């Protein structure tokens, strides 16, 4: 169970508003990258018993994340969310889009944090806020873990909405990640407007006047995928 040790250490240093930042959606082939910033305030009481299950969103079931999403919103001082769509990702690259989504999440807050902690090894460039990048922060720091849940659930909901527009890809199931089914549907239908043109194998659709079936082997999730007559085989 995570506690507020890191946040409370910053409170004792004189900070009033402390934020935890994380993102979701760097790896998928389609859809946006979403970031969330969760604010803890020095005098705001958080019911940690209610939020005892908060941890890295990847270690929670979808049902548990959905439940915690509401509980986090009810208990923490404030939450901000930032979104960068697939066009922005293609224009500036996924790393820069992730940083931009984080800046947007901070910008969405009414109460700006005086200190932020974020998951990963890279701080956010060109911001005046004091910050600390923490590798594995979503496993170590409550506010970062809470932000990971907010970001993940927000993005999953966006992708379920997109499923209604493009049901053939199964976005409601894989949320845009490169599963075998998703790759099969890409081979069958080609990409839609939600797919990231800068990501393989999407880029092949746009670089070749033919289509992805003319490229017999691509690498997906460290596996070679072979396309033969619209049938996918893992080598």
Q: Which amino acids are annotated as binding site for a divalent metal cation, given as ranges?
A: 22-23, 119
Rounded to whole angstroms, how far apart are CA atoms 72 and 188? 40
Write out the binding residues.
22-23, 119
- DSSP conformation class of 184: H
How far is C-alpha 4 from the chain's CA centre? 23
How many Cβ atoms from other residues are within 10 Å of residue 219's Cβ?
A: 10
Q: Where are the beta strands (DSSP E) in the chain?
A: 17-24, 33-41, 78-84, 115-119, 130-134, 217-220, 223-228, 231-234
Residue in 91, 108, 90 with CA at minimum distance from that of residue 150: 108
């Amino acid at each position: 169970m995570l506690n507020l040790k890191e946040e409370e250490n910053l409170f004792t240093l004189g900070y009033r508003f402390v934020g935890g930042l994380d993102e979701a959606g760097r790896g998928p082939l389609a859809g946006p990258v979403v970031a969330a910033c969760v604010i803890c305030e020095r005098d705001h009481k958080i019911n940690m018993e209610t939020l005892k299950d908060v941890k890295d969103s990847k270690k929670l079931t979808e049902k548990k994340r959905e439940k915690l999403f509401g509980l986090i919103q009810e208990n923490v001082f404030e939450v901000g969310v930032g979104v960068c769509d697939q066009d922005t990702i293609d224009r500036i690259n996924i790393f820069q889009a992730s940083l931009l989504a984080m800046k947007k999440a901070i910008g969405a807050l009414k109460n700006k944090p005086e200190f932020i902690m974020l998951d990963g090894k890279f701080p956010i460039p060109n911001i005046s806020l004091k910050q600390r990048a923490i590798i594995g922060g979503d496993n170590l720091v409550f506010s970062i873990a809470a932000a990971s849940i907010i970001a993940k659930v927000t993005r999953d909901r966006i992708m379920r909405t997109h499923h209604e527009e493009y049901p053939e890809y199964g976005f409601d199931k894989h949320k845009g990640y490169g599963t075998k089914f998703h790759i099969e549907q890409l081979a069958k239908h080609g990409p839609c407007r939600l797919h990231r043109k800068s990501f393989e194998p999407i880029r092949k659709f746009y670089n070749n006047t033919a289509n992805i079936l003319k490229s017999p082997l691509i690498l997906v999730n460290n596996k070679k995928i072979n396309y033969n007559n619209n049938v996918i085989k893992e080598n």
